[in-house]
């Protein structure tokens, strides 16, 4: 049920077919109004000034001016929530990630054989609703307080062998996860991460983080061990479960029904972390819309894990962390720039 004006959306894509699909699908929702479309950034620039949309849907590969160049100009002169609508390819994933670093709040795959129009429609609507309330910043989210504490250069391997860190995020999470992992030393406790992203996009995301961080970061494969110095990111369109065999933690990557409307789902990771790691885990739920992961974080806390939620001020969308706090799932609520140090401290403290 609508509680206010419809969300005004402008779609920018050089494909007439894509523009038609977006118009048809969005017309089914009373709380969303597609106020216009544009075939390129030059037309979009004029329509933004004329139509004043709340949310922009933007392709990244277009003639005359590419979407990323346009996005950077837009964020300098008229910052607004932007959702990237990109091809489901390796190149599309790399470009979408670059766009998110430039200020886009989320990413969606263009309709095609890998994603049905129905699935695309439902995901698009949820992303638009989240983007409407996203906090737009020219730089990655930060608390505005003192600079983030520096993580130690190295940690004692003996203290981290049986500890692990589990992190979940959605809208705004790519930059939040980067802010956390960039503070991890090269032998930080083994880390498992779910970020809501499509296939191919998580591979690009992992590769980018691996270039920026001291810790090794890669897309998870079925059977990968969770070990110090490695962060594993759930591949798009697959759930990632934590499992244990003796003293060894490893991940299981598999398909399955969506959980909390998501695949991968933070809920799946957190609940298996609660079951198999218990007090040997620490968990963090970061920015994102909805409630995915909140109940799982609560199970982790009940199983003896220390847990933290990102605070409202530094969250791009305060949905998932808010739900976790309301459930009593978070031991603490912290600004983004303090979460890495807190995770490392709790994961390396002695029993």
Name 239's bridge partners. Answer: 254
Per the CB < 8 A criterion, the answer to whether 340 and 177 are in contact is: no
Q: Is the dihedral of CA 117, 198, 15, 7 positive or negative?
A: positive
Q: Is 228 exposed, middle or buried (0-12, 13-18, 19+ CB in 10 A)?
A: buried
Does the active-site annotation cover 143?
A: no
The single residue of 196, 204, 265, 311 carrying the catalytic annotation is 196
Q: How far apart are CA 242 and CA 147, in angstroms?
A: 33
In angstroms, the Cα distances linking 266 to 4, 23, 28, 158, 309 are: 30, 31, 29, 28, 13
Q: How far apart are CA 256 and CA 274, in angstroms?
A: 20
Cis ω for the linkage preceding 180 (within 30 of 0): no
Q: How far apart are CA 195 and CA 89, in angstroms?
A: 18
In the chain, which residue ranges form alpha helices assigned H by DSSP? 16-26, 41-51, 67-77, 90-101, 117-132, 157-160, 173-181, 201-212, 266-276, 294-302, 320-327, 336-348
Q: Which residue has the tokens 């070990």?
A: 227
The single residue of 121, 170, 265, 315 carrying the catalytic annotation is 170
Does the active-site annotation cover 15?
A: no
C-alpha distance across the termini of the chain, in Å: 50
Helix-helix angle 90-101:67-77, to 10 degrees: 10
Does the active-site annotation cover 170?
A: yes
Q: How far apart are CA 72 and CA 215, in angstroms?
A: 29
User: Phi and psi for 260 in degrees, rounded to 5?
Assistant: 55, 35
Catalytic residues: 170, 196, 292
């Amino acid at each position: 049920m609508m509680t206010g004006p419809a969300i005004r959306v402008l779609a920018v894509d050089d494909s007439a077919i894509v523009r038609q699909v977006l118009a048809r699908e969005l017309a089914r929702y009373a709380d969303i109004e597609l106020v216009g479309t544009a075939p390129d950034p030059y037309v979009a620039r004029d329509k933004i000034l004329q139509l004043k949309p709340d949310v922009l849907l933007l392709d990244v590969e277009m003639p005359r001016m590419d979407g990323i160049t346009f996005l950077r100009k837009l964020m300098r002169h008229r910052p607004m929530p932007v959702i990237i609508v990109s091809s489901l390819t390796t190149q599309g994933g790399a470009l979408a990630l670059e766009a998110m670093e430039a200020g886009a709040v989320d990413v969606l795959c263009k309709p095609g054989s890998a994603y049905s129009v129905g699935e695309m429609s439902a995901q698009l609507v949820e992303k638009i609703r989240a983007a409407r309330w996203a906090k737009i910043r020219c730089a990655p989210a930060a608390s505005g307080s003192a600079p983030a504490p520096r993580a130690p250069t190295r940690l004692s391997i003996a203290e981290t062998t049986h500890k692990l860190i589990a992190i979940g995020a959605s809208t705004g999470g790519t930059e939040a996860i980067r802010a956390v992992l960039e503070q991890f030393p090269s032998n930080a406790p083994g880390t498992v991460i779910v970020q809501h992203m499509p296939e191919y996009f998580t591979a690009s995301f992992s590769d980018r983080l691996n270039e920026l961080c001291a810790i090794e970061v890669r897309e998870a494969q079925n059977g990968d061990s969770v070990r110090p110095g490695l962060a594993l990111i759930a591949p798009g369109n697959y759930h990632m479960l934590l499992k244990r065999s003796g003293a060894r933690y490893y991940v299981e990557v598999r398909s399955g029904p969506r959980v909390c409307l998501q695949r991968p789902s933070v809920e799946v990771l957190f609940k298996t972390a609660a079951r198999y790691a218990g007090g040997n885990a620490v968990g963090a739920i970061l920015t994102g819309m909805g409630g995915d992961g909140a109940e799982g974080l609560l199970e982790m806390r009940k199983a003896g894990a220390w847990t933290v939620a990102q605070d409202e001020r530094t969250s791009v969308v305060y949905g998932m962390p808010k739900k976790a706090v309301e459930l009593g799932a978070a031991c603490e609520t912290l600004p983004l720039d303090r979460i890495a140090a807190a995770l490392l401290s709790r994961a390396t403290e002695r029993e």
